[in-house]
Every structure is written in structure tokens, then in C-alpha cells.
Structure 1
Amino acid sequence: MRFSSGLISGKLVDRFGERAVLGFGLFMVSFFTLLTALAQSYGQLLTFRTLGGLGSSMFSVSAGSLLMRSVSDEYRGRAQSLYNGGFLVGGVAGPAVGGILSSFSLRAPFFVYSVTLAMAGTTALVFLSEKRLGNKADIPTNLIGQTTLKQAFKLRPYQIALALAFINNWVLFGLRSSILPLFVTEELGSTATVAGIGLTISALIQGLFLLKAGKFSDEKGRKAALILGGSYVLFGVLMLSFTTSPLWYFIAMALFGLGGAYVGTAPGSVVGDIINGRGGQVIGAWQMAGDAGMIVGPILVGFLTDNYSYQTAFLVSAVISAIAILLSVLLPETRSSHLDNGLIIDKNKQEL
């Protein structure tokens, strides 16, 4: 649902502004999460979670748009790193808290999640107000300008950012969260605890290097950050292809985390760099590309594993990672503060 509604959410952001869509999207997920907690059948569960996906799309697109629009390109990488860090901390803490709550009731985590989402929605609507910020968060689009999807698709950096979002989410999320635990238990003959330790190492390393990666992107360039991060990810995937012990698995996961800190930050900064004014649908399409990678990645690597081997799935993912590095090499630099001429829509050399 998140994938299919990305452009709709972007259109809403362009029409009503980030703050309204952000708050409404959070309250929408909160409401349907509450209904999920009260679901009496699998059909109801599926329906409520699906409808919550629309709110999730509205939240993520509007939050991304507000972040990219409010931060200059000199600090955009660091801002993106902090933003991603928030999701990383939540992704680690959420299952831990949910696991404790589920020992009391499997419905309890949904009730708590609904309450925290409502708190987040209130924060968006109240604390992003003009009275508290001293300036408007929801400036009308006709006053700040707009980058349309048609304009963005003409820019080579945006085209590459879409491809990188797809590839990086395939490898970093699809591969890591689908077959890796099975690889540890079935191929290495180890335990689920060892698999969990490896995923924890990856998350910790990524969290520790996020700010450094954002600063590197701001100072050395998006291109340099993507090439460096992509190289770490490629080495991690290749190491998995020939791993025979848990120790090598841990090292590979550390490389995944290190590379993820760089490649998880820079593509979003590229998109922010090329947007003039508001660009809800531009951001929506970029997030859809990432969601597509998270959908396609697990299915494809699962198919390759079932029909061939884990090593085949890893090697194919390594080839895809190598393509990401090649695209990063072809990426024109987009930081306007470090260029003689800014990336201006229809007045730049990046248009195809």
C-alpha cells in the first residue's frame, strides 16, 4: 500500500503542505493500528493494516519533503543522517519493547503503537505551527515554487537516485532481512541467536557512523559518499558469498552497517539537492523506488536460494551492488554550494 500510494501522498503534500499531511497521516496510521488491535479475523487485520499503509506513505513523504526543503544543501547530509538515525533507533527499540508487551498480550503492542503514533501526530500539528516556530511550515506552493515529477525525471541525478534507492533497499533490507537468518542457521549450522547478533552488529555500526557519513556527504560530495558506501556493501556481500564461519558473518554484517550509513544517506540528499521549492511527488516517486526494492529483493533472492543456492543469491546481489557503484561514478555532483552553477531545472547540463 505504501508503494502504490506514494504519488498520491506526494500530490497531497504539493496541494496541502507538509504539516497537514504529516499530522493527518500519523493520525490515520494511529486509528487503523487501533482497529488492528481490535481485529477479530485475519481479513480485518489485513484490511486495517493495508489502510494504515496509506497513512504511512503520507507521513514518510511529507516528513521527507519538509526535511529536504527546510535544510540547506550544506547540512542536508547530516540532517538526513539524524533523520535516518531516528528510524534506526526505533527499529531496534520497537521490537524489544513489543516483545516485552507481547508476553502479556499479542494485542498490547498495537495499542501502545497507536498511542505513540497519536503523540507523534499531535507533535506534528502543534509543534510545527507558525506560533511555535516563528515562521510558516506550510508555505503555499505558489509562493515557494514547485519541482514537478516531469521536471525531475529529466535530470540525470534524479534518475540515478531512483535506481540507487531500488538497489540499496534490495541489498540492505531485502537481502539482510530475508535469507540471512536462514543462511546462518541452515548453511553455517549456527543458531538464531548468532543471526540476531550479526544483525545487531550491523545496526550498531550503521548508527555509529551515520553522522560521520552525513558530514562526509556534505563536505566531500554525494558522489564520493555513494562510491565509498557502495564499496563497503559490495565487499560485505562478497564476503557472505564465501563465508564458512560465524566470525566472517559478523565481519560481513559490520561492512553492511558501515556501507549502509553512507548509501542510506546520500541518495536522499541528491533528491533534496535537485528540488526547487516543494516537490512532494518527486519525493514520493523516490520512496516508491525504495519500497519496490524492499518488495522485489526478498522475492528474488528467495527464488534464487530455493532453486540454486545461498551463494548464487549473494553473488547476484553482488553484481547488483557493483551496478550501484557504477551508477554512483556516473552521478553528477549536486551540492549547489560547492558548484559554480547550481542545478536549476531546465538550465543545467544534467538534462537528458
Structure 2
Amino acid sequence: MEQWKKNLIVLWFGQFLVMAGMTMIIPFLSLYLQSDLGVSDPHETATWAGIIFAGNFVTAFLFQPLWGKLSDRYGRKIMLLRSGFGMAIVMICMGFATSPWHLLALRLINGTISGFSPASISLISATTPKSRMGFAMGTLQSGAIAGTILGPLMGGLLADWIGFRSIFYITGTFIFLASLLAMFVVKESFDRVQAAAMPNMSLIEGFRQLGRIPQLASLFAVTFLIQFAMIGPMPLMPLYVQELHGTAVNLAFWAGFVGSAAGLSNMIAAPLLGKLSDRIGQEWVLGVSLIGAAVLFIPQAMATTVWQLLLFRFLQGMFLGGLIPSVNALIRKFTPDGMEGRAFSMNSSTLSIGNMIGPIVGGLISGWIGIEGVFLTSAALFFINAIWVRQTLLARSRDERGIKQLE
């Protein structure tokens, strides 16, 4: 088997386990605070749960660029292993927490040392043949999506079976084993001497240089919008499902089913659309996927039954499956050599911003014009981003083809 395929298989499992570990606590976090950490007041429990869950994304947003800079200087694999082994240890320590402050501190540390995903993407982009880049990015994305979807389900099942603390021990052990497998199987050809000879730019200067590339700015905006538009309605989804369903019977099941529908189709479509993008170009798959995702927000705002909402979410997920793989492949295409790690880390930071801002802005918009307004606002933002992508990427693609024809 070719080395890039070995890298892809191992890092697919790594992405799955890391994302499952990050989301596994969602179903039982409040219960863990009540039963094991001594928080009894319902309002206090809800407040702690929100702060603890968000803490990971705050520090991840702040520290991702630093790890990206170091990966450009010392290699992607070492950053991958630093993050994997570090998160494994922190995850196990969460099982020994005795107060909410302990759990919050560990979540903040986990976000600080995170970076497995951007390091994986950067490593795959550096070791995969350009003709298979879309397929590799789509496959890698499917691993992350699978972990995100199945993580809460696994967490809920394991909580009833083995208890809350044991979940942290098991998750940490699996992440450790995935990192160990990556250490022995994953390989990259990284020239440290050449990397050391590159100008040692500060983080701010690196931001400025990448920010001057219009294609990258539009791609970072796509990543932000995906998280903003998909995470924003999630806290409100049970209320919307209750409004459509008309009864509280099986409300949690239907809310979870609707919430995961887009993720399921995304997981299926990502490798297929990634492979298609290798044939027709990532720019075109990205543009069509943006328009398709934007259009499908509109019927979600007009749904009259849960089944309609479920169908539209599932169809939308298929278009969303073409976004992240195309974005990652194009980031590699437009990023100057030697700055790939920083570019992917910046992209990961915009993802964290979307995770933080989405629920807040979604709640404000919902309180003003209803949850239907959240879907319509997301649709408008996707259309605007599609125009931006067309101006920066598709126009550049046409210009390059024209130059080649003249040559």
C-alpha cells in the first residue's frame, strides 16, 4: 500500500476518536456535574455545563495559530503526536476531577494543547498526490464527522453501562492508542533544515501575509459560516421540533435525529464529492455546494412537519459534504510553501469562532424574529459567501486556464 494511503487510514481513525472524545460528554456533562462533582442547583448546573463545554473552544481558538507556526518549523507529525498524547492524558485526568473547577481547567488545557485535526489535514495535504487531494480530504473529513455524530451516542450508551468517570478513561486510552499507531505508521518527508532557513515570521506577520491572499480569506469565511450556520440553530432545535411535532412525546429522540441528519449525509457525501472535485476542480464543487446549502436553509424555515425538516436537513448535509474537503484542498493550493501549518491552524481557529459565536447569535436572532429567521439569515450569508468565492476562486481559475491556452 502506498504511504499516503496508510497515512490516510490511520489519521481517519485518529480524527474519529478525537472528535468522538470531544463530543462524547455532551449527553452526560450535566449529570456528571450533579452526581460526581457536587453541583445540585439546576441553574448552577446549566451554567457550569455551558462554560465547561465552551472552554475547550476558547483556548483552541487562541493557541491553534501557535501550533501551526511550530508545525511549519518542526514538522506536522511531531505536532500531531504532541496533541494526540497530550489530549489522551488530559482526557484520562477528567475522570479524576473532583470539582467543576477541575473539569473546567482540564477542558481549557485540552483546548490549549489541541491541534490534532489541523496537523492531520496539513500532513495529509503534504503527503497526498495532488490528483487525489480531494478524495483524501473528503475521506479525512468523513472520519471527523463520524466521530462528531457517534460521539454523543456512544457517550450516552456508555454512561448507562459503565458510569461517567470510566468513559474518560476509555476515551483517553483509545486516543493514546491512535496516537501510538500514528507514531509508528504515519510518515512525512519534512526537511527541517529547509524549514529552519525560512524567515521566522511572528504570528502577527504570518496572519498579515496570509490575510493578503484574497482566496484564503474567502475560504476561511466558508469554514466560519459552516460552523456558524450549523451550530447556531442546534440549541434551539428541540423547541423547533416541539413546535412542529406538537407533542413532548419522544421529543429528545426527534431533536437528536434532526440534529444528526445533516451530519450523516455529510459523512457519506464528503469522500464522493472529494473524489469528484479531483476530476472537475475543487472550485466548482465548492461553489455549487455553497449554493445548494444556501437554498436548503429556506425550506427548513418553512417546514410544517418534523419529517420535512428531517428531509431538508439530510439533503443539505450532502451539499455540506462538498465544502470542508474542497476548502482544505484549496487552502493547500493557495498557501505559500512553508506556511501550510499556519494556514490550516488559522482555518481551525475560524471553526472555533463559529462554534462559539453561532449559538449566541442564533439565540439573539431567534429571540428577535424566531428560529425561522436563523435559517433565513444563514441562507443569506451562504449566498453572499458564494458570490465572494465566485469572485476570488472561480475568476482566478478561469484566468489560469486562459493563460495556459495562450501558452
Shared fold, TM over 0.5: yes
What residue in structure 1 maps to residue 228 of structure 2? 170
| AA partner of residue 169 (structure 1) | Q
What residue in structure 2 maps to residue 268 of structure 1? 328
Following the alignment from structure 2 to structure 1, what is the Cα–Cα distance between the partners of residues 177 and 239? 37
What residue in structure 2 maps to residue 346 of structure 1? none
Matched, 1:19 2:71: no
Following the alignment from structure 1 to structure 2, what is the Cα–Cα distance between the partners of residues 61 and 187? 38
Aligned length: 333
User: What CA deviation, in whole Å up to 9, does each residue of 1:153-197 have, x standing for no partner?
Assistant: 22221111111111122113x135332233112454352222222
Q: Is the partner of 2:164 in helix, strand or coil?
A: coil
Q: Is the 8 A contact 2:233 2:374 kept in 1?
A: no
What residue in structure 2 maps to residue 125 of structure 1? 183
User: What CA deviation, in whole Å up to 9, does each residue of 1:104-158 have, x standing for no partner?
Assistant: 3111211111101111221222222xxxx5xx54431616986954443222211
Following the alignment from structure 1 to structure 2, what is the Cα–Cα distance between the partners of residues 254 and 332? 27
What residue in structure 2 maps to residue 214 of structure 1? 274
How far residue 340 of structure 1 moved from its aligned partner, in angstroms, is 7.4
What residue in structure 2 maps to residue 63 of structure 1? 120
| AA partner of residue 117 (structure 2) | S
What residue in structure 1 maps to residue 359 of structure 2? 298
Return the match for 1:139 from 188, 191, 200.
Answer: 191
TM-score (norm 2): 0.76
What residue in structure 2 maps to residue 349 of structure 1? none
User: What CA deviation, in whole Å up to 9, does each residue of 1:304-343 have, x standing for no partner?
Assistant: 112331122222112111112212221325789x85779x
Following the alignment from structure 2 to structure 1, what is the Cα–Cα distance between the partners of residues 193 and 295? 44
Q: What is the alpha-carbon root mean square deviation over aligned residues?
A: 2.4
How far residue 18 of structure 1 moved from its aligned partner, in angstroms, is 0.9
Following the alignment from structure 2 to structure 1, what is the Cα–Cα distance between the partners of residues 347 and 265? 26
What residue in structure 2 maps to residue 313 of structure 1? 374
Q: More displaced, 276-285 or 312-321?
A: 276-285
What residue in structure 2 maps to residue 248 of structure 1? 308
Following the alignment from structure 1 to structure 2, what is the Cα–Cα distance between the partners of residues 242 and 290? 28
Following the alignment from structure 1 to structure 2, what is the Cα–Cα distance between the partners of residues 340 and 23? 43
Q: Is the partner of 2:151 in helix, strand or coil?
A: helix
Q: How many percent identity over aligned positions? A: 20
* CA pair 146-255 structure 1, distance change in 2 beyond 3 A: farther
Following the alignment from structure 1 to structure 2, what is the Cα–Cα distance between the partners of residues 13 and 149? 15
How far residue 231 of structure 1 moved from its aligned partner, in angstroms, is 2.0
Following the alignment from structure 1 to structure 2, what is the Cα–Cα distance between the partners of residues 305 and 49? 29
| AA partner of residue 16 (structure 1) | Y
Instruction: Give ranges in structure 1 of 5+ residues lacking alignment.
Output: 343-352
Matched, 1:83 2:144: no
Q: Is the partner of 1:179 in helix, strand or coil?
A: helix
| AA partner of residue 216 (structure 1) | L
Following the alignment from structure 1 to structure 2, what is the Cα–Cα distance between the partners of residues 178 and 155? 35
How far residue 200 of structure 1 moved from its aligned partner, in angstroms, is 3.7
How far residue 100 of structure 1 moved from its aligned partner, in angstroms, is 2.0
Following superposition of structure 1 onto structure 2, how do residues 151-190 of structure 1 map, counting pairs within 5 Å? 151-172=209-230, 174-189=231-246
| AA partner of residue 310 (structure 2) | F
| AA partner of residue 72 (structure 2) | D
TM-score (norm 1): 0.87
Q: Is the 8 A contact 1:232 1:256 kept in 2?
A: yes
Return the match for 1:232 from 285, 292, 296.
Answer: 292
What residue in structure 1 maps to residue 62 of structure 2? 4
Instruction: Give ranges in structure 2 of 5+ residues lacking alignment.
Output: 1-58, 200-205
Q: Is the partner of 2:393 in helix, strand or coil?
A: coil
How far residue 59 of structure 1 moved from its aligned partner, in angstroms, is 1.6
Q: More displaced, 258-267 or 196-205?
A: 196-205
| AA partner of residue 116 (structure 2) | F
